[in-house]
């Protein structure tokens, strides 16, 4: 299963580079699309809750009453 996942990642990472090499007209739109998807992924990763302490969701420091 890990080998299949590695092959999919390799294909996803290299196919846009191949397209940009073969079709120079789509190089700029492809770069913009990859940048936007990367930015969305970074925002999603930064905003999702972090699981800590046995699976509980931590949204910041715990405040004692």
The predicted pLDDT at position 39 comes to 93
The torsion angles phi and psi of 51, rounded to 5 degrees, stand at: -90, 125
Kindly indicate the confidence band of residue 51, based on its pLDDT and cuts at 50, 70 and 90.
low
Residues 61 and 65: their CA atoms lie apart, in Å, by 13
DSSP secondary structure of 21-60: HH-GGGHHHHHHHHHHHHHHHHHHHHHSPEEETTTEEE-S
48 contacts 57 by C-beta, under 8 angstroms = no
pLDDT of 40 above 90:
yes
What pTM did the predictor assign?
A: 0.50
Share of the chain above pLDDT 90, in %: 8
Q: Place 26 in a pLDDT band, splitting at 50, 70 and 90.
A: confident
The two tokens of residue 55 are: 């699976």
């Amino acid at each position: 299963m890990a080998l299949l996942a590695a092959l999919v990642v390799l294909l996803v990472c290299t196919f846009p580079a191949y397209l940009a090499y073969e079709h120079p007209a789509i190089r700029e739109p492809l770069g913009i699309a990859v940048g936007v998807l990367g930015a969305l992924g970074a925002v999603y990763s930064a905003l999702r809750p972090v699981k800590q302490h046995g699976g509980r969701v931590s949204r910041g420091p715990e405040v004692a009453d």
